């Protein structure tokens, strides 16, 4: 079977440079590699409190960003997770095949729940990886481009696929996480020991930031002792993070970037990083504004949901039959 690529982002807040590097930057190339299912994970966005208007607006923004990044809606499917009901239906089945013990080991759950009072932790936050596994297996996805923080969830999906296939025969396809060599985990500019995250926006570069704001954020990014521009995550987390960002923007290796910045002072290096980010994001932001204005995301989402539903319903039927649910 040819490659089936699936990837999603939650409409929980303003998209960051981390999301851009993990998913959006690679979309254009993905169009040519195989069939792509690209979705807005709006059901997942409910795992932490969110206002209805904010959720709606974030979902529109995300659709426009996907298109601005070069997703071809004719060739591939762009859709809202909630508009394909098979996600929720398969979730009702698969929640019985993943266990409390394994879900409680997920670091995303530990991190996100640690910030909440016990009786404010929704069941959905705990069960998030079950729905995520359904998102993936519904499309027989083989390749899942993600950041490093999602690898644990994909490993769990792989365990689920093994579990189901061993019990019921080969009914699900085994997925694989695809990580960038450089830029798997972009860190906060104000604290390079924590991940840049849209729901914890401290030291983030937002995809909607004006170029002047982007420059200011990069110029005031936390750096480290010393003066050499060298990749050393342990002793130079700030510089290493900026190096990663630069490499992603220019599509070069860390070694090449280190070579380029021999003899640079931190200030001049940061200026080069800011130039690279702005050069990449400015045209992207321009396309995004055009798409928001002409609302081309509306048709793309409708068509995408239709395409996605056909495939998702086939898988759902296959699973229902195999496990003994009576289906016509």
Query: Which listed residue (21, 40, 80, 300) binds ligand ATP by CB under 6 A?
Result: 21
SS3 state of residue 186: coil
Spot the catalytic one: 25, 198, 217, 236: 198
The reply to whether 112 belongs to the active site is yes
* Residue-level length of the chain: 328
Longest dimension (CA), the chain: 71
Spot the catalytic one: 10, 25, 112, 184: 112
Characterize the bridge pairing of strands 77-80 and 176-178.
unpaired
The reply to whether 271 belongs to the active site is no
CB nearer ligand ATP, residue 23 or residue 98: 23
* 14 contacts 44 by C-beta, under 8 angstroms: no
Phi/psi at 5 (nearest 5 deg)?
-105, 130
Q: Is the dihedral of CA 147, 67, 197, 55 positive or negative?
A: negative
Query: How far from 47 is each of 101, 148, 181, 200, CA to CA, in Å?
Result: 19, 20, 30, 14
Query: Which listed residue (4, 5, 6, 19) binds ligand ATP by CB under 6 A?
Result: 19
> Per CB under 6 A, does 81 bind ligand ATP?
no
* 204 contacts 198 by C-beta, under 8 angstroms: yes
> Per CB under 6 A, does 199 bind ligand ATP?
yes
> Per CB under 6 A, does 23 bind ligand ATP?
yes
> Per CB under 6 A, does 18 bind ligand ATP?
yes
Cα(186)–Cα(242) distance, rounded to whole angstroms? 9
Q: Identify the burial level of 212 via C-beta atoms within 10 angstroms of its C-beta, where 0-12 means exposed, 13-18 middle and 19 or more buried.
A: exposed
> Per CB under 6 A, does 87 bind ligand ATP?
no
299-318: contacts with ligand ATP (CB under 6 A): none
Q: Which stretch binds ligand ATP (CB under 6 A): 83-91, 191-199, 264-272, 290-298?
A: 191-199
The reply to whether 236 belongs to the active site is no
User: How many residues make contact with ligand ATP (CB under 6 A)?
Assistant: 21
**Nearest residue to 9 via CA among 204, 286, 198:** 198
CB nearer ligand ATP, residue 89 or residue 178: 178
> Per CB under 6 A, does 241 bind ligand ATP?
no
Report, in Å, the least distance between residue 177 CB and ligand ATP.
Answer: 9
Query: Which listed residue (36, 69, 77, 146) binds ligand ATP by CB under 6 A?
Result: 146
Query: Which listed residue (4, 195, 217, 270) binds ligand ATP by CB under 6 A?
Result: 195
Spot the catalytic one: 10, 25, 195, 270: 195
CB nearer ligand ATP, residue 198 or residue 236: 198
Report, in Å, the least distance between residue 55 CB and ligand ATP.
Answer: 12
Query: How far from 279 is each of 4, 30, 249, CA to CA, in Å?
Result: 31, 22, 9
* 28 contacts 69 by C-beta, under 8 angstroms: yes
Could you tell me the two tokens for 321? 């039959």
Residues forming contacts to ligand ATP in the complex (CB under 6 A) are 9-10, 12, 16, 18-19, 21-23, 146-147, 149-150, 185-186, 195-200
Catalytic residues: 112, 195, 198
């Amino acid at each position: 079977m040819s490659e089936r690529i699936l990837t999603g982002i939650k409409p929980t807040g303003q998209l960051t440079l981390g999301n851009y590097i993990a998913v959006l930057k690679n979309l254009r190339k993905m169009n040519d590699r195989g069939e792509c299912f690209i979705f807005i994970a709006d059901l997942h966005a409910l795992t932490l409190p969110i206002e209805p208007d904010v959720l709606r607006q974030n979902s529109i923004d995300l659709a426009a960003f996907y298109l601005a990044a070069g997703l071809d809606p004719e060739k591939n499917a762009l859709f809202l997770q909630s508009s394909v009901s098979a996600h929720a239906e398969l979730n009702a089945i698969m929640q019985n095949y993943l266990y409390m013990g394994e879900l409680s080991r997920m670091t995303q759950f530990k991190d996100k729940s640690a910030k909440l009072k016990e009786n404010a932790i929704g069941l959905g936050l705990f069960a998030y990886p079950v729905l995520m596994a359904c998102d993936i297996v519904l499309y027989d996805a083989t390749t899942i481009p993600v950041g490093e923080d999602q690898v644990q969830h994909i490993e769990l999906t792989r365990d689920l696929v093994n579990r189901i296939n061993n019990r019921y025969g080969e009914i699900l396809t085994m997925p694989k996480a695809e990580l960038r060599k450089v830029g798997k985990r972009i860190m906060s500019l104000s604290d390079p020991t924590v991940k840049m995250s849209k729901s914890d926006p401290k030291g983030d570069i937002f995809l909607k930031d004006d170029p002047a704001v982007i420059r200011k954020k990069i110029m005031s990014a936390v750096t480290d002792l010393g003066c050499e521009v060298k990749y050393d995550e342990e002793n130079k987390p700030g510089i290493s993070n900026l190096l990663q960002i630069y490499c992603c923007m220019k599509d070069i290796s860390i070694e090449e970037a280190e070579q380029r910045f021999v003899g640079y002072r931190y200030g001049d290096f940061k200026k080069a990083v800011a130039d690279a980010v702005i050069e990449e994001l400015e045209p992207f932001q321009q396309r995004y504004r055009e798409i928001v204005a002409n609302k081309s995301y509306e048709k793309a989402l409708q068509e995408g949901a239709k395409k996605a539903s056909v495939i998702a319903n086939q898988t759902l039927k296959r699973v229902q039959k195999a496990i003994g649910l009576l289906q016509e």
